[in-house]
């Protein structure tokens, strides 16, 4: 039995936390025992315990990558629980602690974003390379875009393996349930329903989506609806834009929704307009499990999930006109949506299931331990 201690500093349930939860659902429990270190009081704890992980609460560490006191606390934890391997999710303190305890360590990079100039060129490039390569036996990049970020900042490709995220398939709801929800949201019969399920932050591109809705209306399109689910710091700006652009009749702000599966089931097309920190979108993968085609920006990991013209459409990020054009090509084309949706489902089943993700992750664990021995 191989004991793996995951270290994550998140106090909320974000993308990295969902990756661990998805892994636990499909882990080989005969070969691997999973422990997870979280900040005391983290909202992740109940979900992790329900998924079968042994959770270790750590004082401090909350929503920060590095602090001297966190390293000491994690060193004490590692010596107490004696893992065979430490897997950190952005937490530099965990990597430092593992090295001090002479335990092999793997680090997952969950985001993709433009590499700042200070990391592209010496001396910052040298420091970044030394820091990341010394404090990680191997690095998991969750998309090719993430890998490219790492190598652009000086890290050797030999240190990196791309392991695309995987998710559990979303359960299908009954036609009656779908009709009831569409009625609750006052969606007209026959309307093409687009949807975006994401935090409302500037870099998620919601404003470009609202502008695209206006462009579609200006061109005479009315038989569509856009559902925006989620909350965030940019929510008021998006709501204001919906009113100012006069698209309240086709864009619906739903706020926080706990019925994500039900919402996905009533969509015809999923949207992703991100232009920052997008690696492998879990929401896109969940939509693909239902056979949903997608319209996505060309930022980050999106083009490695959606192939233009095959299982969806890809548009240049921050380009409302191109986004509107892509959406227009699907509004009155149910046969085209169905064909792309079938390709989306096929790609999900071969590349993005939780089983594929878990086996790829566990193979990295075995390779690291083999190398350590």
CATH number, domain of 28, equals 3.40.50.2000
| pLDDT tens digits along 273-323 | 999 878 889 999 999 999 999 999 999 999 999 999 999 999 999 999 999
Report H helices in 219-353: 235-244, 260-265, 282-289, 302-305, 320-331, 334-351
Quick one: tokens of 109?
A: 């990079």
Same domain, 123 and 198: no
Same domain, 317 and 363: no
Q: In this model, does residue 163 exceed pLDDT 80?
A: yes
Same domain, 137 and 179: no
Same domain, 218 and 365: no
Cα four-point dihedral sign 203, 209, 212, 214: negative
> Which residue carries 């949706």 as its tokens?
341
Same domain, 207 and 105: no
The stretch 333-362 carries a mean pLDDT of 97
| pLDDT tens digits along 164-218 | 999 999 999 999 999 999 999 999 999 999 999 998 999 999 999 999 999 999 9
Chain CA centroid to CA 35, Å: 22
pTM above 0.85, yes or no: yes
pLDDT mean across residues, the chain: 95
Residue 355: what are its φ and ψ, rounded to 5°? -65, -45
Cα four-point dihedral sign 218, 220, 222, 225: negative
Q: Residue 353: what pLDDT?
A: 96
Q: Residue 276: what pLDDT?
A: 84
Q: In this model, does residue 252 exceed pLDDT 80?
A: yes
Q: In this model, does residue 339 exceed pLDDT 70?
A: yes
Number of helices and strands in the chain (H, E)? 16, 13
The boundaries of the domain holding residue 125 are 2-166+353-372
- The fraction of the chain above a pLDDT of 70, given in percent, is 99
Strand-pairing partners, residue 281, are none
Same domain, 332 and 187: yes
pLDDT category, 137, cuts 50, 70, 90? Answer: very high
- The residue among 90 and 228 whose pLDDT is bigger is 228
| pLDDT tens digits along 3-20 | 999 999 999 888 899 999
Cα four-point dihedral sign 264, 270, 272, 278: positive
Q: In this model, does residue 97 exceed pLDDT 90?
A: yes
Same domain, 185 and 146: no
How many angstroms separate the CA atoms of 357 and 143, rounded?
12
**Which segments of 148-212 are extended strands (E)?**
160-162, 192-197
Same domain, 122 and 249: no
Q: Residue 365: what pLDDT?
A: 97
Q: Strand 105-109 and strand 138-141: pairing?
A: parallel
Q: Residue 333: what pLDDT?
A: 96
- The residue among 115 and 83 whose pLDDT is bigger is 83
Q: Residue 372: what pLDDT?
A: 59
Same domain, 147 and 234: no
Would you call the peptide bond into 123 cis, given omega within 30 degrees of 0 as the criterion?
yes
How many angstroms separate the CA atoms of 135 and 159, rounded?
11
The stretch 219-248 carries a mean pLDDT of 96
Number of domain units in the chain: 2
Q: Residue 373: what pLDDT?
A: 52
Same domain, 207 and 336: yes
Same domain, 142 and 192: no
Same domain, 156 and 195: no
Q: Residue 111: what pLDDT?
A: 87
Q: Residue 344: what pLDDT?
A: 98
């Amino acid at each position: 039995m191989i004991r793996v201690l995951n270290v994550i500093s998140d106090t909320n349930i974000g993308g990295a936390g969902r990756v661990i939860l998805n892994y636990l659902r499909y882990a080989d429990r005969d070969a691997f025992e999973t422990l997870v270190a979280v900040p005391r009081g983290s909202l992740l704890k109940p979900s992790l315990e329900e998924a079968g992980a042994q959770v270790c609460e750590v004082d401090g560490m909350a929503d920060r990558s590095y602090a001297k006191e966190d390293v000491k606390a994690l060193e004490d934890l590692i010596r107490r629980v004696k893992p065979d391997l430490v897997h950190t999710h952005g937490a530099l303190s965990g990597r430092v602690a593992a090295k001090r305890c002479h335990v092999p360590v793997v680090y997952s990079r969950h985001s993709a974003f433009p590499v700042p100039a200070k990391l592209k060129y010496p001396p910052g490039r040298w420091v970044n390379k030394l820091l990341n390569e010394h404090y990680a036996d191997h690095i998991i990049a969750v998309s090719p875009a993430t890998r490219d970020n790492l190598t652009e900042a000086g890290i050797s490709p030999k240190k990196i393996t791309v392991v695309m995220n995987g998710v559990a398939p979303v359960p299908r709801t009954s036609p009656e349930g779908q009709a009831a929800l569409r009625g609750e949201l006052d969606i007209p019969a026959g309307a093409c329903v687009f949807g975006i399920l994401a935090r409302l932050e500037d870099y998620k591109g919601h404003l470009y989506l609202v502008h695209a809705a206006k462009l579609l209306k200006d061109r005479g399109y009315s038989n569509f609806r856009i559902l925006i689910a989620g909350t965030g710091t940019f929510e008021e700006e998006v709501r204001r834009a919906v009113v100012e652009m006069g698209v309240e009749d086709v864009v619906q702000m739903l706020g926080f929704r706990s019925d994500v599966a039900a919402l996905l089931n009533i969509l015809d097309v999923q949207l992703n307009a991100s232009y920052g920190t997008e690696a492998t979108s879990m929401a896109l993968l969940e939509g693909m499990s239902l056979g949903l085609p997608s319209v996505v920006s060309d930022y980050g990991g999106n083009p490695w999930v959606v192939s233009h013209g095959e299982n969806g459409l890809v548009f240049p990020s921050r380009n409302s006109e191109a986004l509107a054009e892509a959406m227009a090509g699907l509004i009155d084309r149910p046969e085209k949506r169905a064909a792309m949706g079938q390709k989306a489902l096929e790609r999900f089943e071969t590349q993005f299931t939780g089983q594929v993700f878990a086996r790829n992750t566990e193979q990295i664990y075995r390779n690291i331990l083999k190398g350590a021995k």
